[in-house]
Amino acid sequence: MKRYGQIACVALLAAACGGSKTQPSPGTIAPPNTIVFTAQLSAANEVPPITNAEANARGDVTITFNLTRDSAGAITSGTATFLYNLTNFPGATTLTLSHIHNGPSGVAAGVFISTGQSAASGIATAANGAVSGVTFSNVAMTAAQAQAVVDNPAGHYCNVHSQLNGGGVCRGQLVRQ
């Protein structure tokens, strides 16, 4: 009986001093406030695929979501930063719009999150048909928009529009990094 009392005492001391080897449950880990998505953009991914002078357009985009969450971890608001690198356009092409759409691969869909770029604020590629490091920062989005992309990145695509291809010149599905 004395031995059982000593074992119980040691067990209580170990527990009180943090001697437990248990790991925190997955539900106690806070969800991230910064989430990064990428997309490989291609004229061939547009619906229908681009076949004119901009058919070889391609590039990449990195989209960083900066989220605010409540104490339960639910997204309450957020902003996004878009960073584009584009190549293989005809020289001095003007890029007129860029945004995220809520549609799977092969489906054209409406604008979901806009960068705020407009035809009036178009960006011209260099003479070699490339533009690098184009950034749109502090792009506002609702909590519902942010949550939808976080929950299903592949169900959303990013694309860029040009003067020649007003419906979109190159696009790619989002991938969470």
Q: Does residue 20 fall inside a structural domain?
A: no
Predicted local confidence at residue 110, as pLDDT: 95
Give residue 169's identity as a one-letter amino acid code.
V
Looking at residue 94, its pLDDT comes to 95
pLDDT at res. 29: 82
Give the C-alpha separation, 80 to 115, whole Å.
9
Please tell me the predicted confidence (pLDDT) of residue 28: 65
The pLDDT tens digits of the residues spanning 56-89 come to 999 999 999 999 999 999 999 999 999 999 999 9
Residue with tokens 């806009």: 114
Q: Is residue 139 part of a domain?
A: yes
- Cβ-count burial 25-58 (b if 16+ within 10 Å, e if not): eeeeeeeeeebebbbebbbebbeeebeeebbebb
Quick check: is 150 in a domain?
A: yes
What DSSP string describes 48-112?
Answer: SPP-STTTT-EEEEEEEEEEEE-TTS-EEEEEEEEEEEEE-PPTTPEEEEEEEE---TT----EE
Q: Is 7 inside any structural domain? A: no
Whether 122 shows a pLDDT value over 80: the answer reads: yes
Q: Which CATH number covers residue 32?
A: 2.60.40
Mean pLDDT of 139-151: 98
Residues 6+ apart with CB under 8 A from 125: 86, 89, 91, 92, 93, 94, 95, 131
The confidence score (pLDDT) of residue 7 equals: 44
pLDDT at 105: 96
Domain tally, the chain? 1
- 11 lies in a domain? no
Per residue in 6-27, pLDDT (tens digit) is: 444 444 444 444 444 444 455 5
Residue 158 contacts residue 171 (beta carbons within 8 Å) = yes
1 in a structural domain: no
Q: Which domain holds residue 131?
A: 26-176
167 falls within a domain: yes
**Does 109 have pLDDT greater than 50?**
yes
Whether 153 maps to a domain, the answer reads yes
